[in-house]
Amino acid sequence: MMMSDNDTLEVPEITTEELATDGLSAKCILFDDDWHTFDEVIEQIIKATKCSKEKAERHTMEVHYNGKSVVFTGDLGRCLNVSSVLEEIALRTNVEC
């Protein structure tokens, strides 16, 4: 079937909500850097994961001493959201399935 100039091709958009239903579990890893303060990282972890300050502090110390920390484990869509929020202030992350 040929398309005329007036026809439009509709391409479905995949949202993170749809990714979340695909059953893939993943983890969001936060990596150490030399630019952010402890307070900045703690605040961003809380914003991204909705965890307690104490838990965010533990992750921050783990990142500082070990170079990385798994700050969130869950479905792929949520991990991508967490990663996106962390990267708002240029923190370095990776999402692994």
Contacts of 84 (CB under 8 A, 6+ apart): none
Q: How far apart are CA 78 and CA 38, in angstroms?
A: 24
Are 85 and 45 in contact by the 8 Å Cβ rule? The answer is no
The 10s digit of each residue's pLDDT in 71-96 is 999 999 999 999 999 999 999 999 99
The 10s digit of each residue's pLDDT in 10-64 is 545 555 555 444 679 999 999 999 999 999 999 999 999 999 999 999 999 999 9
pLDDT above 50 for 1: no
DSSP element (H, E) containing 69? strand 68-75
